[in-house]
Amino acid sequence: MDTKKDTNTQNFPVRKIPTWVIAVFPLVLLAGLIALFVNTNPIQVTTSELPPIEDLSFQRVNLTRDHIEIKVTNSGPDQVVIAQIIIDEAYWNFEIDPYNSLGRLESATIHMDYPWVETEPFEIVIITSSGTTFAHEVELATESPTANAQQFLAYGLVGLYVGIIPVGLGLLWFPALRRMSQKGIGFVLALTVGLLVFLLVDTFLEAIEVAHLLPGVFQGIPLTLFAAILTWLIITAIGSQQTIAERSSPRGRKFIASLIATGIGFHNLGEGLVVGAAFALGEAALGSFLVIGFILHNITEGIGIAAPVTRDKPGLSWFTLMLFIAGGPAILGTWIGGFAFSPLLAVIFLGVGLGAIWQVIFEVGLLMQRDAQKENISVVNWVNVLGLAIGIALMYFTAFLVKF
Amino acid sequence: MQINLSRREFLKAGILSLLAPAGAAALAKIAPEHQTTLTPPPILQDHDHSSHESMGTVGKVNHAANQYHPAEMLKEFDYGKVSQLDNGQTLREYLFMAEDREIEIAPGVYFPAWVYGSPSSPESIRAGKIVGRVPGPSIRCVEGDRIRITFVNAGSHPHTIHFHGIHGASMDGVPGNGDGSIFPGQSTIYEFDAAPFGCHLYHCHALPLKRHVHKGLYGAFIVDPDPEKYSGREKEIAKTRNHLYTENESVNEMMMLMNGFDTNFDGDNEVYAVNSVAFAFMNEPIKIKHDQLQRIYLINVTEFDPINSLHIHANFFDYYDHGTTLQPTLKTVDTIMQCQAQRGIVEISFKDFEPGRYMFHAHQSEFAELGWMGFFEVEA
C-alpha cells in the first residue's frame, strides 16, 4: 500500500468534521465520563453514610426597634433547610423570604420580631433540618442606619472628616515642602514611602479580615491578590504611555503624585468602609474616637501626595482634584459601609488599593533613585532610611488611635 | 458550628454543578440517602403576621411521620403480654428492640436517634408494627410482677437495657455483667421481679454512656404499689396508684419524661422537651378537669445539664421523690429539681381554680425557652 495514500485515508474523516465539533468533543466526553462516574459512584463506599455538608453565611444583620432582619447565603455544596432560629438560647418565631430551603449560593432574608436590648450583645443561632447550627454574634445591639437623607448626610460628613479634611490639611504643607533642600525633599519622599509601606501592610491585613466574612466559595484572599495584581498591571500599562513615560518631567512627577492619590484613595475607601460598618454594626460609641484617630492618621497622606511635585507649580485645581481622588473615596466608603456593606465588594476594593499602593511605592522609589543618582549618592542613605523609619513610625503610632 | 469544606469536596461539587446536563440527574443520585427521607418543613412565608410576635418554634412537627405523639405518651403505658405463673405471680413479657431512626424533635429539626420499640406499646399496636420511639415505651407493672424482657438489638451499635430497680448483677444490663453489651443482630433476656414500687426509668448502659443515653435510649419504668401489702390509709393511697384498681381511674395520670437533644453534637442541647417534642404542650395544652387529682410521673433523662426542674404556675403540689413512698417527701412546693436520672411523682389539684391556661416548665429559663414549656388548660 502507498504510504501517502495511507496517511490521506487516516486524515480524511477528521478533516471533514467541522472545527466546532472537534472543539466540543472533549467537553461531551467529559460530561459523559462524569455521568458515568456519578451513576456507578465508585466512591460510594466512603460517602454513602455521610450527612450533607451544610454551610450558611450571615451576610448582614439589620436591627430596627424590636425587629431583626438577617440575610443569609448557603455557601456550601448541599441544600440547607432553615428549620428554627434561636436567639440567646430561646426559640423565636420568624418569617423567611423567599424560601427556608436554600440551594447552593442561594440567599434568603429572615424577618423576626425580637425585643433586643440597646447596647447589649446577643447571639443568633440558625438551626437547620439536620440539627446543624450556625451562629452569629451581634456584639453591640443598636439601631442599624436606614438610608434616609439625614443619615446619608451624617455618614457623608463622617467620610469628609476621615478623608477630605486630613488629606487637605496635609496638602497645605506644600508651600513649606517647596522651600526644602534636595536632601529635605529626599527625606520627605522617603517618609512618603514609609507611610505607603505601612498602608500596604495595613490594607492587606484589612483585606484578610474582611475575606473571612466571605463565604469560602468566593475565595476572598486570592480575590484580593488578583485584584491587586491586575490593578498594578493596569497602572503600569497606563504609566508606560509615551507622554508620561518620562518620570523626571513635571508631567511625569504629577503622574506619580496622582498615582499616590489614587492608591491613598482606595485605602481611604477601605477606611471609610471600616468606619461606616462600625457605625452600622452598632459600634457607634467608638465612632467619634475613630474619626479623630483617622484625621490624625491620614493627615500625613497629604504630604505623600505633595512630595513628588515640590519642584513644580501645580495649580489649585490640580490640588483640588488630588484631594478628591485621595479623600473622596472615604465618603463613598462610609456610605457603602453604613448602608450596604458587602464583604465581596470590600475585598475587591481593598485588593485594588493594595495594587495601587504597591505601584506607588515602586514609582516613588524610582524617583528617589533618579534623584540620588543626580546627587551621586546611594538611594539607601541615612537620611532616606530615617525618613522611611519616621514614616512608618508616624503611621504606626497614630494607628493606636484607630485600632482596637 | 461551621463545617469547613475541603478543597477536594469543593472541586467535586463545583464540577458537578457546572456541568449541568450530566450534573442535574447525577446530583440527585450522589446526594446522601438520608437527605431524601427528610420531609421538607412547610414554606414559612405565608405566616400570619400577628402569630410571629412571640417566642417559640415556627411550624408544626409531623407527629404522624414520627408515629408517636407526646400527648399520647402522657397517658399510654406498655403493660406487656400478661400471664400467670404457676406460683400465682403475674408475668409480664416484653419484646424490646433497639434501632436507628430519624425523629422530628422540633418543627423541621430532625435528629438521628437510637430508639427502643416494643410490639405491646400502644403506638405499635395502632401501627401494626414495632414503632421505635423516644422516650421508649413506658413500662407499667405492679410490684412483685415477674418482668421478662427479650431484648433484640436491630441497631448499628452495641446496646443494653439497664433498669433502675432491684435485680441481680447478671440482669444489670451493663457491659461486662451477664450478657453485657448486646451487639447488633444479637439478643438477650432481662428477667427480674419488679421492685420497689415507684417511678423509675430504664436506659441503655453501653459505652460511651453519654452518647447512648442522649441519642434516645431511655424510657419510663413505673412500678405500681400492691395495695394488698399495705393497710389503712396507705392501702387506699396504693389503690389510687395501682392501674389495676378502679380507684386509679379517678386520677388523671401523666408520664412526663424531661429530655434534651444535642442536634449538632457539641455537648450542649439545642432542644429541651418533655416527651421529645419542643413546646409540644404549648402548641397543644393538656386539658385537665378542675375537680380531678393530677398525678405526674416526672423523670429526668436530660444529658449534659446536671439538673432539670419542674415549676407549675399559680399552684402548689406534693412531691414523692422516686415515687417509692406513699406519703409525700415534699409538701406544698411549686418547684422541684431532679438531677440526671432522678424522678418522682407530682400530685396536684386545680380544684376551684379559675378556668384557663396554667403554665408549667423547667425553671431554668434556658431549658424553658428552648422547648421545655407547656400549658395545663383547666376546664370549667
- A386-404 residue pLDDT tens: 989 998 898 888 777 766 6
Query: Has domain B64-249 been given CATH number 2.160.10.10?
Result: no
Residues A14-49 pLDDT 10s = 678 888 888 898 899 999 988 888 777 666 655 555
Say yes or no for a CB contact (<8 Å) between A127 and B109: yes
Residues of chain B above pLDDT 90, percent: 84
Protein fold of B280-379: Immunoglobulin-like (2.60.40)
Say yes or no for a CB contact (<8 Å) between A38 and B1: no
Please name every residue paired with B285 in a beta bridge, in sequence order, or none if there are none. none
Residue B93's pLDDT band, with cuts at 50, 70 and 90, is very high
Say yes or no for a CB contact (<8 Å) between A134 and B2: yes
Q: List CB contacts (< 8 A) between B266 and chain A.
A: 133
Residue A57's pLDDT band, with cuts at 50, 70 and 90, is confident
Rounded Cα–Cα distance for residues A131 and A128 (Å): 5
Under a CB-based contact definition with an 8 Å cutoff, are residues B325 and B260 in contact?
Answer: no
Residue B47's pLDDT band, with cuts at 50, 70 and 90, is very low
Q: What is the pLDDT of residue B8?
A: 42
Of B348, B303, B308, B353, nearest in space to B328 by CA: B348
pLDDT higher than 60, residue B44: no
Q: Please enumerate, as own/partner, the contacts of B119-122 that have beta carbons within 8 Å and a separation of 24 or more.
A: B119/B95, B120/B78, B120/B79, B120/B80, B120/B81, B120/B94, B120/B95, B121/B76, B121/B78, B122/B72, B122/B76, B122/B77, B122/B78
- Which grid coordinates are listed for A87? 436567639
Q: List CB contacts (< 8 A) between A113 and chain B.
A: 52-53
Q: Show me where the domains of chain B are located.
A: 64-249, 280-379
User: Measured between CA atoms, how close is B269 to chain A, in angstroms?
Assistant: 10
Per-residue pLDDT, averaged over A107-111, amounts to 94
Residues B317-363 pLDDT 10s = 999 999 999 999 999 999 999 999 999 999 999 999 999 999 999 99
Q: What is the pLDDT of residue B45?
A: 42
Residues 48-77 of A with CB under 8 A from B: 48-55, 76-77
Residue A141's pLDDT band, with cuts at 50, 70 and 90, is confident
**Model confidence pTM above 0.90:** no
User: Measured between CA atoms, how close is B214 to chain A, in angstroms?
Assistant: 14
Q: How far is CA A35 from CA A28, A45, B2, in A?
A: 11, 18, 31
Residue ranges of alpha helices (H) inside A48-173 are: 149-159, 165-171
Domains B64-249 and B280-379 share a fold: yes
Q: List CB contacts (< 8 A) between A89 and chain B.
A: 366, 369-370
